[in-house]
């Protein structure tokens, strides 16, 4: 693992997700740019001291020299955005598979370079757009793919949060600090941090790519350097329309990602804060409440479910579905097999490239007087 | 009453709303352009046959000749959009107060002409943007006016319906028929029918006027002549931003009007289908569920409430709040008094003009390549 | 109308309900035992002064002498419990149909006497167990009658309120005052006031009668003379079991009546505070959300619905369904016709007798050491 | 681990819960009474073959001989009820701490014997009444302990499930099979399986012990040997009253555990299927929605939370809180420290004894004609 030292949020999420199913064991890490902190973090994680490294370079080089079966199988990169590219590139070059947090890189160029490297090496690359790991998100995707909604017309994807309603970054809060800093976060703030989740969720579920967009980007908190609010009109392939909202100044909202999609025959509604419920609405009869574990669901939804109905599965379980599928794919490859479709269902470098381009295009549109910007 | 003959939807809604509080009695009507149907409608309403008229012209002329105390006090106009202007104008010219359904007229010019006439005659003119009649909508407005949210930043107003997902107008369904016909509905379809409700609700609650907008308007159902779907980016006075969605092809949605508004200190959420609940979200503590009749609410909310907590008040009661306030204002005037602020709280011709301009500007923007259109 | 003077709660509810559909006009009343207040109330209701009476006896005698077409058609009794019997009896004896608030009388003996009188005179008698007026309650009943749940097994009916959590009666609050006074309310407090609603709802929806019960009755507020809380285990015909909770000290609850019923094949859930939703749960697939006005509903549900889907109908509309059906039945009879099944769907004196017996049996059980008391 | 071989439900839940926080590593197991299956299960869990045992006796004996640091620290018992006692007893006798599934034993006598042994050995014994592991359950307990509800009056705890609506046990379904078999489940069916969870939750949150009860127990599915439905009236210390419902024939219910508690000043509502929400209702103002991770919560709730607000924590996380606290307590003891109050917050053998007595008393009451049975 690269990053995720004590006090970090997403590093421990990755570790919990990786542990959950028992396929993955944390064996080494470079948890912090400060060797002291890396060491302390490793100790708290019950790691052998000689597998706790001061830098990712040291880790990758050393691990690469260890015999197979002993050396790590893949690296998880959980650093701030500007520190994804270098370790990801070096890991691929040293033959390690990669799990990387999102957005995949600092710039689209870096993302494209990683994509080339992934294609060239044939190594696995998972991007933790974790919200696509929920069973009911997979059910939604499966229903649309099966034509149950008919041709899609209108989608609404929203990601309101309220935690950046004040200038939290000036209080020293670590998460706010780097996420609002263009040197570490990239050229987008909220649009990069949560807007890309919304974009990824929309394209994943709908099965349609964005073709053009019209963005309005705002910074409401005085002194903040990056966008903390934005609304986007979208056109998707096949003519469907969508709105996307990504805001971090929606006072009082927690992590209220949701999506609604309407086709000619039916509509769907899913809300991340009650993730085990998927509501299906029909033209001429009462809605159906689909629930994780209840009745006949798609193979993909079932494969992503660990518990019987009514035993709520949450954020970590969804996150763990990415790790589980990545691990099963890796195990298959180790046994010389081709990963099957179910295990291959996790976001990859292609999603990463798509997300970076989304950031580019939203910013281009926000700065333009033209209504539409081609994607 | 003009319009609202047997089989009409909104006419009976107006009558129920007018009856509810016992201040208003239906005394006469021209319920249909077909005298036969007007007669039958009047009979079913237990009206005296000599007060059931064949045309609104006949009604207005005849009633105007009746002695005070016997003649009607005001006229309610519940016809399709293209038939609002003429009877409203004639009523005002004959000294009758007016209640009129929305959008107020077929064109902005007509609305402005009515506004001049209202101003000149000093007669009352109520427009049934009924959703502002709900107690919790009034509570939301009062909270914002009192500064409880701080400076507003982001609003989301949505009005999705699904009933026009198919080409219902070709089935002979009366409501769909005229609402999708540019000769009777005006130049907008869904944006005029429900988009203006959303616009009115947003301006009413926020206390802010729209200053510019960027609209994307669509007609998804083949062969339909007017828009059945649209999304609009908005800027409000003081720099707040909003999105407005009005769609009638959201398959499976009933009448899902909702609004969320976020300020610097707190956020609000109200949903028309559960109208007695207003959720207030805070930066640093759990949300509060405000409910009709529970605890200390604003004077406006209390004045709009008829029942103790937990006895749900619905659509008709909200609609009736417009009639009630209109009637109380009229009674005050009859007694030579000035209507107070509480009774004066109903939409007027000014809201009507605003709604017509909204329609104009949305269509102008939808046809433009420029991102922003000034309002 | 007998009772319902200024300041009363339920009197105005009856009037709004009676007005809503335009079939009923209030023509006279004895609104208060104090002639002054009766007069003032009548004036505020725009009644002719000579139809505002000082006592119900005067009203019934005088109205009985008026020519048909001029005299009132029926009387609505909206006084406290101890003042139902005498005016109801006298009204029936003078040939007037009756609408009466619940519980029907002060004692079971009185209820039985009224029942005999109703049977003897053939006059209509409606009891305002208003919660059975909701469309989705009628849908629930229809579904069970049609066997869609299979044989019933378990029901849960709850009626928690919080308004009597403190000794409100000692503050002079009118509603609390008489409802907690055994001289005016009868031998039960909450069990009579709201427990009978729960009992009526359960028997109405399930179509099954209670056969035995086991009650635990409590008075939590010091100094209170009647029960303010109670839980009852019930057995229904055919062996189904139920629990019934009626409490007025559930701090913070509004008027949270709900019912859930489970059969061999499916279950139902209805909640009064969101009355337009009926959830149907199945053994092996996702639940269905039935909604007022959506899709194919039972004839009874449709007949009880005034508005299209998504236009919430509330407490007054449900209450008005009793008045509407009563009025339509009365109109049919006036025309020499037999009221049909749809218009006959309102609670009658038989429900009243049943409710009084429920009160008797709950109190008998509460005072007994035996587990079960036969109903 | 004892039990939990391939195909078992609760064994994998225990393993996921144990893994989540990284403090616990599975090192050995006797996963099945069939050595073949135990072996295969161990292999799938990446265990060293020599630590996969054919029987728990073999495991306990062998592990006890291993050097400290190598041998297992504690044993998790996840077998059906009749197989808890023997391995638990033997583990304690061999010096191993124990985590055991609930109900703790087959009979109360066994539970008391284990309690004596735990007291004598001073070893840790955790019982997985997992629902008390949710942050918002801990918040509810803390609020009541702090007097925020005032003196408690009425509680409603319900645990409806629908999965045993049909005679599932005759289909070979493993979970249904042993749970409905008195030889393996004990003398209670649903009351033992889920009723004890409800009892434990009620006593945990309220801080009050049950003092007497009145039970109605039913078996609705023909041919079933144990209760599948039951309702209980309860009295708690200090005079509060409660109802408890535990049914497995509530068709269409998933795992709908909920609790509502009302005191003199306020009420609480928590529902297991939306576990991160706790609603607090007040006498005189709108309810508050407390949410995991939002605002100032009790120390206990915070200690039980892993993620920021809006990142739903579910069943496994709550279950893992028992394992986490157990592990932290064990680590403290290993370091010669006393576990602090936060880590000591998990159910113990005392809860187990209480649960067994609950089963006894419910059955005694169900068979009695007396209304109340002392607990």
Q: Which residues contact C374 (CB under 8 A, 6 or more apart)?
A: C211, C212
Q: Measure the CA angle with vertex B154, ends B153 and B159; round to 5°.
A: 150
Q: At which residue do the structure tokens 């359950």 appear?
A: D137
Instruction: Give me the numbers of helices (H) and strands (E) for chain A, helices first please.
Output: 13, 12
Instruction: Please give the full DSSP string across A24-87, using - where no structure is assigned.
Output: -----BB--SSHHHHHHHHHHTT--GGGB-SSHHHHHHHHHHSPTTTS-SEEEE-S-GGGTHHH
Residues of C with CB under 8 A from a CB of A: 279-280, 282, 284-291, 294-296
Torsions phi, psi of A116, nearest 5?
-60, -40
Domain with CATH 3.30.360.10 in chain A: 131-333+353-366
Question: What is the CATH superfamily name and number for domain A131-333+353-366?
Answer: Dihydrodipicolinate Reductase; domain 2 (3.30.360.10)
Residue C107's alpha-carbon distances to C132, C224, C349, D80, D151, in angstroms, are 23, 21, 13, 55, 35
**Cβ distance of C313 and B315 shorter than 8 Å:** yes
In terms of Cβ atoms closer than 10 Å to its own Cβ (0-12, 13-18, 19+), residue C212 is: middle
Residues of B with CB under 8 A from a CB of C: 9, 12-13, 15-16, 19-23, 26, 45-46, 161, 163, 253-256, 272-276, 291, 293-294, 306-317
Among D45, D272, D317, select the one facing A316 at the smallest CB separation: D317
Intervals of chain B under pLDDT 50:
none
ipTM: 0.96
SS3 C76: strand
Find, among C95, C122, C118, C96, the residue nearest to C105 by Cα: C118
Question: Could you give the CA distance from residue D285 to residue D280 in angstroms, rounded to a whole number?
Answer: 11
In terms of Cβ atoms closer than 10 Å to its own Cβ (0-12, 13-18, 19+), residue C244 is: buried
> Does the structural domain C134-308+353-366 have CATH classification 3.30.360.10?
yes
Buried b (16+ CB within 10 A) or exposed e, C174-191: ebbbbbbbeeebbbbbbb
SS (H, E, C) C236-292: EHHHCEEEEEEECCCCCCCCCCEEEEEECCEEEEEECCCCCEEEEEECCCCEEEEEC
Domain with CATH 3.40.50.720 in chain A: 10-123
Instruction: Give me the numbers of helices (H) and strands (E) for chain C, helices first please.
Output: 13, 12
Q: Cα D352 from chain centroid?
A: 9
Q: Which two tokens stand for residue B235?
A: 């800027």
Instruction: Please give the full DSSP string across C185-253, using - where no structure is assigned.
Output: H-S-SHIIIIIHHHHHHHHHHH---EEEEEEEEE--STT-SS--EEEEEEEEGGG-EEEEEEES--TT-
Digits of tens for pLDDT over chain A (375 positions)? 999 998 788 999 999 999 999 999 999 999 998 889 999 999 999 999 999 999 999 999 999 999 988 999 999 999 999 999 999 999 999 999 999 999 999 999 999 999 999 999 999 999 999 999 999 999 999 999 999 999 999 999 999 999 999 999 999 898 999 999 999 999 999 999 999 999 999 999 999 999 999 999 999 999 999 999 999 999 999 999 999 999 999 999 999 999 999 999 999 999 999 999 999 999 999 999 999 999 999 999 999 999 999 999 999 999 999 999 999 999 999 999 999 999 999 999 999 999 999 999 999 999 999 999 999
Find out whether C77 and C30 touch, Cβ atoms under 8 Å.
no
Find, among D70, D42, D68, D75, the residue nearest to D326 by Cα: D75
Domain with CATH 3.30.360.10 in chain C: 134-308+353-366
Q: Which residues contact D31 (CB under 8 A, 6 or more apart)?
A: D1, D2, D3, D4, D5, D6, D11, D37, D38, D41, D42, D52
pTM above 0.95, yes or no: yes
Intervals of chain C under pLDDT 50:
none
**Cβ distance of B369 and A370 shorter than 8 Å:** yes
- Measured between beta carbons, which residues in chain A are less than 8 angstroms from residue B233? 214, 216, 231, 233
Q: Which two tokens stand for residue A10?
A: 């997403």
- Measured between beta carbons, which residues in chain B are less than 8 angstroms from residue C9? 308
pLDDT of residue A9: 86
Chosen from B171, B224, B371 to mutate, greatest number of chain A CBs within 10 A? B371
- Measured between beta carbons, which residues in chain D are less than 8 angstroms from residue B291? 286-287
Residues of A with CB under 8 A from a CB of B: 149-150, 153-154, 156, 158, 160, 162, 165-166, 214, 216, 218, 220, 229, 231, 233, 241, 243, 245, 247, 249-253, 260, 262-267, 280-283, 287, 368-372
D239: left (phi over 0), alpha (psi -120 to 50) or beta: left
Å between B287 CA and nearest CA of chain D: 5
Instruction: Please give the full DSSP string across A148-211, using - where no structure is assigned.
Output: TT-SEEEEEEEEE--TTSS-GGGGT-HHHHHHT-HHHH-S-SHIIIIIHHHHHHHHHHH---EE
pLDDT of residue B332: 98
Q: Measure the CA angle with vertex B68, ends B64 and B71; round to 5°.
A: 50
- Determine how many CB atoms are found less than 10 A away from the CB of residue A209: 12
pLDDT of residue B33: 86
In terms of Cβ atoms closer than 10 Å to its own Cβ (0-12, 13-18, 19+), residue D56 is: buried
Question: Could you give the CA distance from residue D244 to residue D240 in angstroms, rounded to a whole number?
Answer: 13
Residues of D with CB under 8 A from a CB of B: 279-280, 282, 284-291, 294-296
**Cβ distance of D289 and B290 shorter than 8 Å:** no
Give chains near B: 3+ CB pairs under 8 A.
A, C, D
Find, among B271, B261, B190, the residue nearest to B231 by Cα: B190
Tally the residues of chain B: 375
**Cβ distance of A218 and B233 shorter than 8 Å:** no
pLDDT of residue B9: 86
**How do strand B152-160 and strand B241-247 relate by DSSP bridges?**
parallel
Find out whether D251 and C264 touch, Cβ atoms under 8 Å.
yes
Instruction: Give Rg (Cα) of chain A.
Output: 21
Find out whether D263 and D149 touch, Cβ atoms under 8 Å.
yes
Question: Could you give the CA distance from residue B110 to residue B116 in angstroms, rounded to a whole number?
Answer: 10
Q: Which two tokens stand for residue B365?
A: 């923007």
SS3 A133: helix
Å between B309 CA and nearest CA of chain C: 6
Give chains near C: 3+ CB pairs under 8 A.
A, B, D
Among D154, D166, D214, select the one facing C250 at the smallest CB separation: D154
Chosen from C160, C251, C279 to mutate, greatest number of chain D CBs within 10 A? C251
**Cβ distance of C314 and B309 shorter than 8 Å:** no
SS3 A96: coil
Find out whether C338 and C355 touch, Cβ atoms under 8 Å.
no
Instruction: Please give the full DSSP string across D183-208, using - where no structure is assigned.
Output: HHH-S-SHIIIIIHHHHHHHHHHH--
Question: Could you give the CA distance from residue D15 to residue D3 in angstroms, rounded to a whole number?
Answer: 11
Task: Report how far apart the first and last C-alpha atoms of chain D are (Å, whole number).
Answer: 34
Question: What is the CATH superfamily name and number for domain D134-307+353-366?
Answer: Dihydrodipicolinate Reductase; domain 2 (3.30.360.10)
pLDDT of residue A6: 83
Å between D232 CA and nearest CA of chain C: 8
Chosen from D366, D371, D372 to mutate, greatest number of chain C CBs within 10 A? D371
Domain with CATH 3.30.360.10 in chain D: 134-307+353-366
**Cβ distance of B251 and A233 shorter than 8 Å:** no
Chosen CATH of B10-123 out of 3.40.50.720, 3.50.50.100, 1.10.8.80, 3.40.50.10480: 3.40.50.720
In terms of Cβ atoms closer than 10 Å to its own Cβ (0-12, 13-18, 19+), residue A320 is: buried
Q: At which residue do the structure tokens 């006498």 appear?
A: D283
**Cβ distance of A307 and D293 shorter than 8 Å:** no
Instruction: Give Rg (Cα) of chain C.
Output: 21
pLDDT of residue B239: 97
SS3 A127: strand
Find, among A374, A363, A358, A347, the residue nearest to A108 by Cα: A358
Q: Which two tokens stand for residue B63?
A: 């009633």
pLDDT of residue C7: 76
Question: Could you give the CA distance from residue D84 to residue D288 in angstroms, rounded to a whole number?
Answer: 42
Digits of tens for pLDDT over chain D (375 positions)? 999 998 788 999 999 999 999 999 999 999 998 889 999 999 999 999 999 999 999 999 999 999 988 999 999 999 999 999 999 999 999 999 999 999 999 999 999 999 999 999 999 999 999 999 999 999 999 999 999 999 999 999 999 999 999 999 999 898 999 999 999 999 999 999 999 999 999 999 999 999 999 999 999 999 999 999 999 999 999 999 999 999 999 999 999 999 999 999 999 999 999 999 999 999 999 999 999 999 999 999 999 999 999 999 999 999 999 999 999 999 999 999 999 999 999 999 999 999 999 999 999 999 999 999 999
Instruction: Give me the numbers of helices (H) and strands (E) for chain B, helices first please.
Output: 13, 12
Query: Number of A:C CB contacts under 8 A?
Result: 40
pLDDT of residue B7: 77
**Cβ distance of B241 and A263 shorter than 8 Å:** no
Tally the residues of chain D: 375
Q: Cα C202 from chain centroid?
A: 12
**How do strand B210-218 and strand B266-271 relate by DSSP bridges?**
unpaired
Find out whether C127 and C349 touch, Cβ atoms under 8 Å.
yes
């Amino acid at each position: 693992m690269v990053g995720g030292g004590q006090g970090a949020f997403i590093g421990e999420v990755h570790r919990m997700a990786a542990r959950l199913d028992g396929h993955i064991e944390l064996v080494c890490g470079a948890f912090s740019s400060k060797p002291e902190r890396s060491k302390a973090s490793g100790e708290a994680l019950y790691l052998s001291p000689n597998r706790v490294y001061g830098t990712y370079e040291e880790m990758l080089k050393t691990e690469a020299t260890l015999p197979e079966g002993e050396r790590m199988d893949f690296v998880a990169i959980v650093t701030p955005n500007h520190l994804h590219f270098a370790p990801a590139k070096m890991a691929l070059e040293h033959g390690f598979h990669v799990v990387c947090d999102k957005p995949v890189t600092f710039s689209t160029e870096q993302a494209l370079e990683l994509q080339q490297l992934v294609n060239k090496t044939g190594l696995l690359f998972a991007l933790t757009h974790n919200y696509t790991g929920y069973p009911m998100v997979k059910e939604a995707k499966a229903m649309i793919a099966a034509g149950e909604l008919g041709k899609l017309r209108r989608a609404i994807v929203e990601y309101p949060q309220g935690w950046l309603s004040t200038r939290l970054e000036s209080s020293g809060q670590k998460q706010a600090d780097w996420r609002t800093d263009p040197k570490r976060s990239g050229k987008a703030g909220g649009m990069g941090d949560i807007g890309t989740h919304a974009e990824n969720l929309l394209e994943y579920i709908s099965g349609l790519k964005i073709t053009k967009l019209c963005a309005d980007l705002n910074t409401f908190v005085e002194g903040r350097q990056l966008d903390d609010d934005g609304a986007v009109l979208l056109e998707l392939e096949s003519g469907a329309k969508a709105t996307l909202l990504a805001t971090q100044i929606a006072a009082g909202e927690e992590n209220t990602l949701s999506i609604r999609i309407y086709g000619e025959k039916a509509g769907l509604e899913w809300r991340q804060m009650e993730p085990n419920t998927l509501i299906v609405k029909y033209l001429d009869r009462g809605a159906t409440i689909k629930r994780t574990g209840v009745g006949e669901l798609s193979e993909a939804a079932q494969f992503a479910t660990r518990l019987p109905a009514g035993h709520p599965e949450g954020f970590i379980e969804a996150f763990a579905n990415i790790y589980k599928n990545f691990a099963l794919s890796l195990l298959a490859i180790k046994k010389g097999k081709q990963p099957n479709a179910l295990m291959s269902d996790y976001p990859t470098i292609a999603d990463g490239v798509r997300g970076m381009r989304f950031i580019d295009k939203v910013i281009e549109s926000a700065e333009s007087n033209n209504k539409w910007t081609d994607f």
